[in-house]
Amino acid sequence: MSTQTETPAAGKPEADQSPEPKPNFMRLFGRYLTEANSVMVTIYSLLLAFLIGAVLLIVSDEYTRSTFSYFFARPQDAWYASRDLVVESYTALFEGAILNFNTLEQYQAGQAEFGNLLRPLSETLTYATPLIFTGLAVGLAFRAGLFNIGAQGQLIFGMMGALIVGFSLDLPIWLHLPLAIIAGGVAGGLLGAVPGVLKASTGAHEVISSIMLNNIAALFLVWALGTAFLHSETKPDLVSKPVDDSAVLPTLLSSLNPSLRVNLALVIGIAAAVFTWWLLSKSTFGFRIRAVGFNEHAAATAGMRIGSTYTTTMTAAGALAGLGGAALALGVSSGGITTNTALDYGFSGITVALLGRANPGGIVASALLFGALKAGALSAQPDVPVDISTLLQATIVLFIAAPALVKAILHLRTPRGGLVTLEAKGW
């Protein structure tokens, strides 16, 4: 992913004729708030997305819509109905994702344990964990100028790799669990290497090949689940064998309350983010990735091997997504994976990476946000349409990807150095 700077027509900073007032902290802060810099664009994108979500909630709710039919007779009906709907819906999302106020009251009244209180957060973290891995998988490739659409397939391969080692070997936990996790990474890495090798050797565009590999991986899973080797020995539906207990990721908080599902994969995900950050900013490999991503011609002229950089980066990216698959197969789905286990974690990883601007820290933050939206939406249904979560995600990313739109809607000022947009090279 390259960071492109759009400067005004003449390529010069915009003229600012007004005499500069003496800067003080509040004034600088005010300037910052009204400027289309990347932090403020992100914040405003979130606000705008929730605003649009509110409008769509109102439009899609039958009762609220009916109050608008007599809007001119009794506008207050429409107003109160809309307000109540939006507040209730967003409160429900919040309660499902972060803190349930009912549980809080019960806890204060001594009717609920502390563990119950943590349940929404645990769900958010559980949904965020695979997104951290797939977000990193897309983000790392972005930095080398590659658009890795294949995180979904890599995650599916990771799931299968971890599963096979997870049920077929009989080992002590200190060896079995790490081996199963590594198997997930290796399987994802192998699938990730394919578009890299194809691009390096034939110039085939990684977007096309990784999209196709997603389909191949998904259908391969369907076939594999039907084979006697993988298929469950006890259940008739298309579900795999469970992994051995010695390969199951231990939960972190189930001692407080058995319903807290968040497990060790979260810690591994954050460690992977830290490692990716270190790799990109401190290692010679990261130096090469960034140089190739920004300007492959200059990198090649400096003696860097472009093809092998593509291959290794895609392999590393695939391995990260594969670890995400291992997190599922050895974690929440350790009882057996199905064709539904992967959900759309790989595709959401693209938006997570975009929102996190391909920075490991930003990716963790946006994975948490998306995990919260998911957990909130799932717990708030059927009162709130579950699609609201997808809609909010899509709108947020739309605004992030089009900072000029946010700037125009809110009349923000152009920051020094111009607007920052994200784009993958050659796409």
Q: Where do contacts with other proteins occur on this chain (CB under 8 A)?
A: 2-3, 9-10, 12-17, 282-288, 290-291, 294-295, 297-305
Least distance from C-beta 407 to other proteins, angstroms? 19
Cis peptide before 403 (omega within 30 of 0): no
Six-digit token pair at 426?
Answer: 């050659």
Placement of tokens 């819509």 in the chain: 65
Closest by CA to 116, choosing from 258, 15, 214, is 258
Angle between helices 345-355 and 114-143 (to 10 degrees): 80
Minimum distance from CB of 307 to other proteins (Å)?
Answer: 11
8-state DSSP, 246: G
Q: Which is nearer to other proteins, 4 or 108 (CB)?
A: 4
Q: Which is nearer to other proteins, 227 or 301 (CB)?
A: 301
CB of 12 to other proteins, least distance (A): 4
Q: Which is nearer to other proteins, 34 or 283 (CB)?
A: 283
At closest approach, how far in Å is the CB of 70 from other proteins? 51
Nearer to other proteins, 299 or 332 (CB): 299
CB 162 within 8 Å of CB 183: yes
* Min CB(15)–other proteins separation in Å: 6
Check if the beta carbon of residue 355 is closer than 8 Å to that of residue 41: no
The smaller minimum CB distance to other proteins, of residues 3 and 111, is found at 3
Between 166 and 286, whose beta carbon lies closer to other proteins? Answer: 286
Kindly state the tokens that stand for 393. 């995600």
Q: What single letter denotes the amino acid at residue 270?
A: I
**Closest residue by Cα to residue 420 from 203, 91, 407:** 407
**Smallest separation, CB 235 to other proteins (Å):** 47
- Give CA angle at 380 (376, 386), nearest 5°: 80
